[in-house]
Amino acid sequence: MRYRVAAIVPAAGSGKRLKARTKKPFVSLAGRPLITYALKALDSSKYIDEIYVAADPDSIKRLESVIYKYGIRKVTKIVAGGKTRAGSVKNCFDLVNPLCDIVLIHDGARPFPGDSDIMNSVLLAGRFGGCVTAIPMTDTVKLADKRLFIKKTIDRSSLWRAQTPQAFRYGMLKKALCEAKDISGVTDDASILENLGRRVKILKGSPRNIKITTIEDLKIAEVLI
Ligand code: C5P
C-alpha cells in the first residue's frame, strides 16, 4: 500500500548553544544553510508528499527564499514555531492535510537522515502505529544526584538514544495530541504516545544522523560531509 505522508520539520529553536550570529537554520554547513540538508533529504524521498516547517516568525521570509533558491518543492507551509519543540510540532500538525495516512517528524537540526530511515519509519509507522529511529547506548550510563554523586549505574543493554525521523499514523497522533494534557515538557514526539500507554516501535538508526547543537557538532558534520 502507498501511504500519503506529511513531513513536519521543527526548526524554530533558538540555537543559543551554537553561539552563532546567524539563526541556526541558516548557519553555513559546507557552504549551504543547515536547514537545506534536512529539507532536501525529505524533498527527494519518494515516500514524502508534503512538508510543513516550523520556524521562528522573524525567519519565515528568509526561509522562503532559501527554499526557493535550493529548489525544494514539497514545502506546503511554513508555520510560526511554539515556545517548545512540541509546541512547534503541534502548530504544524494543526495544518497538516487530514487526508494523510502518516506524519513523519524530523528535526531541522539533523542534516543527515538516511533515505532508508525515512522509508522504514513510514513503513513501520504504517504497520505498528508509531516508530522512532534510535541508536543503542554505547556509553555506561550513571544516575546522579544534584550534587553530582552517582546514585547508580543503569543497565545500558535496553537503553536507546532517540533520534528523528519519528513517524506515526495520522489518526493516532491526532488522538494522542488531543488527549495529552500538557506536552510542553516532552522532548520528542513518541513520548506523547508513550505517556498515553501506546506502543511505539524502534527502528535502529545510524550514528551519522547527528543533531547540530554546538559548534563541535558543526565541525563533526563538516567532516562527515
Ligand atoms: O531543542 P532541541 O535540540 O531538542 O531541538 C530539536 C529541534 O526542534 C530543532 O530542529 C529545533 O529547531 C526545533 N525546535 C522548535 N521549536 C522550539 C524548540 C526547538 O522547532 N521551540
DSSP states of the chain: -PPPEEEEEEE----GGGT-SS-GGGSEETTEEHHHHHHHHHHT-TT--EEEEEE-GGGHHHHHHHHHHTT---EEEEEE--SSHHHHHHHHHTTS-TT-SEEEE--TT-----HHHHHHHHHHHHHHSEEEEEEE--S-EEEE-TTS-EEEEE-GGG-EEEEEEEEEEHHHHHHHHHH-S--TT-SSSHHHHHTTT---EEEE--TT-----SHHHHHHHHHH-
pLDDT given for residue 113 in this prediction: 98
Q: At 14, is the pLDDT very low, low, confident or very high (cuts 50, 70, 90)?
A: confident
Whether the pLDDT of residue 26 is over 80: the answer is: yes
Q: pTM of the full predicted structure?
A: 0.96
Would you place residue 220 in the very low, low, confident or very high pLDDT band (cuts 50, 70, 90)? Answer: very high
Q: What is the pLDDT of residues 205-216, one digit of tens each?
A: 999 999 999 999
Per residue in 40-86, pLDDT tens?
999 999 999 999 999 999 999 999 999 999 999 999 999 999 999 99
CA-24 nearest atom, ligand 1: 12
Q: Which atom belonging to ligand 1 lies closest to the Cα atom of 25?
A: 12
**Ligand 1 center from residue 211 Cα (angstroms):** 10
Mean of pLDDT over the chain: 95
Q: Which atom, in ligand 1's list, is nearest to the CA of 82? A: 21
CB-based pocket (< 6 A), ligand 1: 10-13, 54, 81-85, 88, 107-109, 187, 211, 213
Residue pair 163/134 in contact by the 8 Å Cβ criterion: yes
Residue 185 pLDDT: 83
Write down the pLDDT at residue 1. 75
Residue 18: band (very low, low, confident or very high) from pLDDT cuts 50, 70, 90: confident
Most ligand 1 atoms within 8 A of CB, residue of 16, 92, 107 to mutate: 107
As for how many domains the chain has, the answer is: 1
Residue 17 domain boundaries? 5-224
Ligand 1 centre and the CA of 99: distance in Å?
A: 26
pLDDT in tens, 112-169: 999 999 999 999 999 999 999 999 999 999 999 999 999 999 999 999 999 999 999 9
Calculate how far, in angstroms, residue 12's C-alpha sits from the geometric centre of ligand 1.
6
**Average pLDDT of span 1-26:** 91
Mean pLDDT of 14-24: 87
What CATH code is carried by the domain that includes residue 86? 3.90.550.10
pLDDT tens readout for residues 79-120: 999 999 999 999 999 999 999 999 999 999 999 999 999 999
| Mean pLDDT on 19-33 | 93
Q: Which atom belonging to ligand 1 lies closest to the Cα atom of 15?
A: 12
CA of 23 to the centre of ligand 1 (A): 12
The percent of residues in the chain predicted with pLDDT above 70, rounded, is 100
